[in-house]
């Protein structure tokens, strides 16, 4: 079963187009047991706004019930579906020819994958643009789309480049270092390499220095915690290794162009 461009298993409640890109706010209409394997002709980003979603995209849990952004390149074949019809999702569709044109300039994932916080927030801003569409919206769409591409390219670089096993172990340690900052000498000693070699190899493999990657991991964790609107910002700051709430808010805004409070407002509006 092949899906034509902009075709999804849902009812469209709002739709707009700009620069060949199509934005849509949808609700699922097909029960889970009626969903069959299908192939999408175009590329699309799918933002899960509500409901319980089953996706085979890399990085997705068995059943996702929290906001998440999935990239499906052209030709993606899957059986992604909602459990129940009380969900909601936003899509940004990209014609296959436009996608292939972009891949000539940068490496992008060739498989379905869950993207990170920067892309998630860009998708939320796109979704938020739909109900207040005006003559400036096309520029907003184009800008956020390029942010999505940049995050997808970083994901592709991280997954496709090769590296020794000790780099993966070092990365895992940084992912687990939520409130304690390891020293570079400790990381290098654990890998049995010189600190200078460690730093160069880590940046070549992951596109960031070890310190930048640690900041990235902490912000990713903070973003996940922010989705529980009951958790105080001060508590999130403490759990993620920030000095205080002000330090956390400043770091979040510098990375994502909005404050943690503004991010929560996007969640509520969505």
H helix or E strand, kind and range, residue 157? helix 137-160
pLDDT attached to residue 266 = 81
Higher pLDDT: 118 or 159? It is 118
Nearest to 46 by CA among 67, 31, 75, 62: 67
CATH H-level, domain 165-269: superfamily: Homeodomain-like (1.10.10.60)
pLDDT attached to residue 158 = 64
**pLDDT at residue 106 tops 80:** yes
pLDDT tens, 27-48?
A: 999 999 999 999 999 999 999 9
pLDDT tens, 142-194?
A: 999 999 998 898 776 666 556 788 998 998 899 887 677 899 999 999 999 99
List the chain domain ranges.
Answer: 2-160, 165-269
- Is residue 55 within 8 A of residue 70, CB to CB? The reply is yes
| Fold designation for 2-160 | Jelly Rolls (2.60.120)
pLDDT attached to residue 181 = 87
Nearest to 50 by CA among 89, 85, 77, 83: 89
């Amino acid at each position: 079963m092949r899906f034509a461009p902009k075709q999804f298993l849902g009812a469209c409640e709002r739709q707009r187009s700009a620069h060949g890109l199509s934005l849509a706010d949808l609700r699922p209409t097909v029960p889970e047991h009626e969903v069959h394997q299908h192939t999408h002709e175009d590329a699309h980003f799918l933002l899960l706004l509500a409901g319980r979603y089953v996706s085979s995209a890399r990085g997705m849990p068995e059943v996702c019930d929290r906001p998440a952004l999935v990239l499906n390149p052209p030709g993606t074949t899957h059986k992604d579906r909602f459990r129940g019809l009380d969900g909601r999702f936003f899509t940004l569709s990209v014609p296959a020819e436009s996608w292939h044109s972009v891949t000539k300039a940068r490496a992008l994932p060739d498989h379905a994958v869950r993207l990170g916080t920067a892309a998630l927030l860009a998708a939320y801003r796109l979704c938020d643009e739909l109900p207040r569409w005006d003559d400036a919206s096309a520029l907003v769409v184009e800008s956020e789309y390029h942010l999505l591409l940049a995050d997808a390219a970083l994901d592709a670089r991280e997954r496709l480049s090769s590296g020794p096993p000790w780099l993966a172990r070092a990365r895992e340690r940084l992912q687990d270092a939520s409130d304690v900052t390891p020293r570079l000498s400790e990381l290098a000693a654990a890998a049995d390499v010189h600190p200078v070699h460690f730093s160069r190899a880590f940046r070549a493999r992951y596109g960031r220095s070890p310190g930048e990657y640690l900041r990235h991991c902490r912000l990713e964790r903070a973003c996940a915690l922010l989705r529980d609107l009951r958790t105080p910002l001060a508590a999130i700051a403490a759990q993620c290794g920030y000095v205080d709430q002000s330090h956390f808010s400043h770091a979040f805004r510098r990375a994502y162009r909005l404050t943690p409070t503004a991010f929560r407002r996007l969640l509520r509006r969505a």
